[in-house]
Structure 1
Amino acid sequence: MTVTTYQVEGMTCGHCVSSVSAEVGKVSGVSGVEVDLAAKAMTVTSQGPIDEALIDAAVVEAGYQLARIELLPQAGGSCCGSGGCN
């Protein structure tokens, strides 16, 4: 089982939650969708990894956007700049 959490931008009410849940739930391989309006988060459960482009397309079809988060290496080549993580 694979569980992936995404940030969704633009949701403001229960109808938004229903729309996102319904569209993402139609994606082949998705077995569960939980949307947390307050956190602007969506947790998708599936039997295996699902191409993020399919999830993104479903969220866009519902009228919203996945937040884009890019993690870039910090000073020292580590995730936090301390040099202790690799």
Structure 2
Amino acid sequence: MSRRIPDAGHPTAAAATTTYAVSGMSCGHCRTAVTEAVGALDDVTSVDVDVPGGQVTVTTGGAPDDTAIAAAIDDAGYTLTGRA
């Protein structure tokens, strides 16, 4: 039986959870569109969309790429207005 031991020269990045304020969301379609767009990004492990609160919480495998997340939200038809 073999067991993989993490390589000390390549530490694993810690997961990060970041909440963003997003404008323009109003319904279940909005939730689906943002979840799919942001969830398709590399290193994103989960997306939680709070439509009434206008917030999107993104968990990534390391430091979040705010520019890529903003672009994905913009491509979905909404506007990231900053971190919440």
> How much does 1:51 deviate?
1.6
Match runs of 1:12-27 below 5 Å: 12-27=26-41
Runs of at least 4 residues of structure 1 off by over 3 A? none
- Aligned residue-pair number: 69
For structure 1, the residue ranges without an aligned partner over 5 or more in a row are 70-86
* Structure 1 CA distance for aligned equivalents of residues 29 and 82 of structure 2: 23
Gaps of 5+ in 2: 1-14
Q: Which has the higher strand share?
A: 2
Given the two structures, how large is their TM-score scaled by the length of structure 2? 0.78
| 1:31 equivalenced with 2:45 (yes/no) | yes
Q: Secondary structure, in 3 states, of the residue corresponding to 1:63? A: coil
Question: Match for 1:5 among 1, 5, 19?
Answer: 19
Aligned equivalents of 2:82 and 2:33: distance in 1? 20
Higher relative CO (Cα under 8 Å, sequence separation at least 6) belongs to 2
Q: Report the counterpart of residue 58 of structure 2 in structure 1.
A: 44
Distance of 1:68 and 1:47 partners within structure 2? 20
Write the distance in 2 (CA, Å) between the matches of 1:4 and 1:68. Answer: 11
Identity of aligned residues (%): 42
Structure with the larger helix share: 1
